[in-house]
Amino acid sequence: MHSLRGRVAVAAVCAVAIVAAVLSALLVLATERDRRAELDGVLRQRADLVVTVLSGVDLGNPTVAALLARDLPSPVFGFQVADRSGAVILSRDVPAGLRVPRTDGHATLPSSTGRWRSYVTGLGDGGRVQVVAPLADQAVVVRRVRRRVVGLAVGSIAAAGALAWALAGVAVRPLERLRAAAGDVAEHRDLSLRVPEAQGTAEVDAVAERFNAMLARLEDAARTTETALEASRRFAADAGHELRTPLTSIRANLEVLQRNPDLPAAERTRVLDAVHSEQARLLGLLGSLQLLARGDAAAAVPRESVDLAEVLDSAVAAVVMRHPQVRVTLAAPEGPLLVTGWADGLRVLADNLLENAARHGAAAKPGGGGTAAVTLTAEPGVARLLVDDDGPGVPEVEREAVFRRFVRGATATGPGSGLGLALVAQQVALHDGTATLSRSPLGGARVTVTLPSR
């Protein structure tokens, strides 16, 4: 049987049947024992009566014995008297061949008419009196009791089965609700659904709690998978859109070289320089797209405690190596400034902020040079990062748009793909922070980033 309700009902019926069988057997045995004890008591009483009547009578006289056998009132079912040698000298209402035991007391004796219950007691002259009664009547009573007990047991088992089926339905109702809720999840394929808890027994509630925990884990896994797939789709779309132009330019220049094998050296050098420039742009674009894709899929990356001051120190050293003509300053508090986040993502944020300031700000000034200032301050629960440059800045109407992918400000003069500030915005969002653009005291742009700190 596959139904839990049916199994519970069957188990209950089996338990009731076992108990009923044991109790029925005990009741029948007790009835039989009580009836036997009652009969034994009557036999003793009547044996005493026969002994009293026979006291002082000469049982050795055959005439007296015959008169007693004929005229003695019968106070019992049957009796017989034996002398000291064991020979029966007086008998009445006793089946033929029923012997007189040599020991006093109760006994069950077989005969041609069935089993008889016997009680033997002694006479004063050494003889013995045996009083007997058939056990057939006792057997009839016991059989009657047995039939009634069996009938009651069968009825009880049937009633117990019906009651167990009904109560099992009540007991498994929380499981039915759990099954229905799980079916809703499967039917609608919505992992955000939850099954009700604290609606049944402790065991069912534990199953519901574990099931909800499993759904939560599956939901997180599905969300992570969808995020990764979305990142892959976006990467493919962005790559297909943005890589077409440099690849087309490279192909056109290569075709020029192929069609013109006698191209002057100066012209050939110019074409090769253009191919090299487009190839460098292509590599940079691919690198930025990969970083964006990693950031899109980073929601499930474990977070840890990161020293933001140390990240900025490394990023400043790297940007100075790339742009030695730019003067970069860093002002940060003494000691670590801890934030909870993704260490690689925070480094991407810092690198792109500084690269943006060096490339599109200070390095874009005529003659090179310029200044970029990095300031890190700690406030209660907040780490605030300011990156200033002395470049042309960003017009106010464009300050929100430049945080989107492939958007460059109108004043941008240096090379770039429009992904630097998009990477910054992405990492700020992943770390529950904010990023804004404003006018810098140095004359260029100021990017302000706030992140939750410990």
* pTM of the complete model: 0.47
Q: Where are the domains of the chain?
A: 4-162, 174-241, 302-452
pLDDT at 76: 47
Type of residue at 268:
R
Q: What CA–CA distance (Å, rounded) separates 174 from 132? A: 66
- What's CA 429's distance to the chain center, in Å? 34
CATH number of 4-162: 3.30.450
Type of residue at 70:
R
Residue 218 in contact with residue 193, Cβ under 8 Å?
A: no
Q: What CA–CA distance (Å, rounded) separates 333 from 336? A: 8
pLDDT at 75: 46
pLDDT at 188: 66
First to last CA, the chain: 59
Residue 298 in contact with residue 223, Cβ under 8 Å?
A: no
| Burial (Cβ within 10 Å: 0-12, 13-18, ≥19) of residue 46 | buried
- What's CA 391's distance to the chain center, in Å? 59
pLDDT at 375: 93
pLDDT at 57: 64
Per-residue pLDDT tens for 179-230?
A: 777 776 666 666 666 666 666 667 667 777 777 777 777 777 777 667 666 6
Per-residue pLDDT tens for 329-355?
A: 999 988 888 998 888 888 888 888 888
pLDDT at 22: 84
Low-confidence ranges of the chain (pLDDT < 70): 1-5, 56-77, 168-173, 175-176, 184-201, 203-204, 224-225, 227-246, 249, 277-278, 280-302, 361-368, 406, 408-418
Q: What is the DSSP letter of 361?
A: I
Please give the class, per CATH, of domain 302-452.
Answer: alpha beta
Contacts of 424 (CB under 8 A, 6+ apart): 349, 352, 353, 356, 403, 435, 447, 449
Q: What CA–CA distance (Å, rounded) separates 189 from 11? A: 37
**H-helix segments, 172-243:** 173-188, 202-242
